[in-house]
Amino acid sequence: MTDTVRALAGDLNAYAAEGGCLTVLVDEPMSRHTSFHIGGPAGLYLVPGCRDALVRVLTAARERGVRTYLLGNGTNVLFDDAGYDGAVVSLTGMDHIAVGEDGLVTAEAGASLSSVCKAARDAGLTGLEFAFGIPGSAGGAVVMNAGAYGGETAQVLEASEYLDPRTMEAGRLSLEEHSYGYRDSVYRHTDRIVLSASFRLKPGSREDIAAAMSDYASRRVSKQPLEYPSAGSVFKRPAGRFVGQMVEESGLKGYRIGGAEVSEKHAGFIVNRGGATCRDVLALVEHIRETVRKNYGVELECEIIHVT
């Protein structure tokens, strides 16, 4: 741990001891906080439980010259084996969900998508069923325009709140201002931090909503390798192509490098069969890309974020 990170730890431990809604962990393995179960230690792992604590963390880190990485549920990231020399700021402590009488469901960025779906179901509100089982957070869904089974975030989002880390002021974006595309939004091209998302849903039958969610969950269990750690789909889908099909036809199902393997169940996934390192995964990603490029002339774009 560098002297600047150590000094920041002292600042933030003092803040937490004074009653600040903040958890501070030192040299925390990122393998404990990512769906891949891969990654070395972060100098600091910080979990603010409210907006004031988030602002305090970001301000203190900037004053100390410590770099930060904002993390949601850790489902599409791959931390380096060497870890992260700085402060990883997890938004999972900001997970409040509110359901309004007008069909508006508002969730803080760290709330899991499945929790938001359950809250909507319990309130008899339909529209979010497609998101049940997507292993991400509300904030991540807004940033990535998360979707599945014909639905996507852009279809149900009304607005989002954000924090500008330069001014520490909050703002709001309407749906149109998100500039949504396939797995893309304006947030992917700025340093704004999603604070919350508001979803506009419609009244529906609780039984029908629950049945649809159960159906989608069953499909995921039957088709996706949920029994092993992974980061979901590895590559974006090229126009007119299916990644899993190209990878399977290339004979790569079950191909392994170290502990990383192309899933036997779904060739669009890389799974950690035990002891996989970041280096294993990156090498396997590149091997898949080279093979598909050679066989199909298609350049695959990796969806997994490598954090160094």
Q: Are 103 and 128 in contact (CB under 8 A)?
A: no
Q: Are residues 187 and 204 in the same domain?
A: yes
Judge whether 183 counts as a catalytic residue. yes
Which pLDDT does position 292 carry in this prediction? 98
d(CA 277, CA 35): 13
Question: Are residues 211 and 108 located together in one domain of the fold?
Answer: yes
Instruction: Give the CATH number, domain containing residue 19.
Output: 3.30.43.10
Q: Are residues 24 and 120 in the same domain?
A: no
The 3-state DSSP class for residue 113 equals helix
How many whole angstroms separate alpha carbon 274 and alpha carbon 126? 39
Closest C-alpha among 221, 229, 300 to residue 265: 221
First to last CA, the chain: 15
Q: Quick one: 216 and 135 in the same domain?
A: yes
Kindly state whether residues 189 and 289 are assigned to the same domain.
Answer: no
Q: Which two tokens stand for residue 164?
A: 């500008």
Is residue 303 flagged as an active site residue?
yes
* Count of structural domains, the chain: 3
Range of the domain at 165: 97-221
Beta strands in 127-259 (DSSP E): 147-148, 151-152, 157-164, 169-174, 193-200, 202-203, 230-233, 256-257
| Phi and psi based region of residue 283 (left: phi greater than 0; alpha: psi -120 to 50; beta: remaining) | alpha
Q: CA-CA distances (angstroms) from residue 167 to 38, 67, 162, 307?
A: 34, 17, 12, 25
Active-site annotation holder among 230, 233, 261, 263? 233
Side chain identity at residue 276, one-letter code? A
Instruction: CATH number of the domain at 264, please.
Output: 3.90.78.10
Q: Are 81 and 108 members of one domain?
A: no
One digit per residue, pLDDT tens: the chain, 308 residues? 899 999 999 999 999 999 999 999 999 999 999 999 999 999 999 999 999 999 999 999 999 999 999 999 999 999 999 999 999 999 999 999 999 989 999 999 999 999 999 999 999 999 999 999 899 999 999 999 999 999 999 999 999 999 999 999 999 999 999 999 988 999 999 999 999 999 999 999 999 999 999 999 999 999 999 999 999 999 999 989 999 999 999 999 999 999 999 999 999 999 999 999 999 999 999 999 999 999 999 999 999 999 99
Neighbours of 216 (CB within 10 A): 20
- For residue 66, the 8-state DSSP code is -
Residues 210 and 101 in one domain: yes
- Pick the catalytic residue: 114, 183, 196, 261? 183
Query: For the domain that residue 172 is a member of, what is the CATH number?
Result: 3.30.465.10
Do 157 and 247 belong together in one domain? no
- Answer whether 84's CB lies under 8 Å from 42's CB: yes
Identify the H or E element spanning 51.
Answer: helix 51-64
The C-alpha atoms of residue 50 and residue 47 are separated, in whole angstroms, by 9
Distance CA 29, CA 18 (A): 26
Nearest to 73 by CA among 84, 54, 88: 88
Sign for the CA dihedral angle at 231, 234, 237, 241 comes to negative
**Partners of 148 in the β-ladder:** 151
pLDDT of residue 3: 92
Q: Are residues 213 and 231 in the same domain?
A: no
The verdict on 130 and 155 lying in the same domain is yes
Q: Are residues 113 and 82 in the same domain?
A: no
132 with 214, same domain: the answer is: yes
Last residue of a domain, one of 221, 250, 269: 221
The answer to whether the predicted template modeling score (pTM) of the entire model surpasses 0.85 is yes
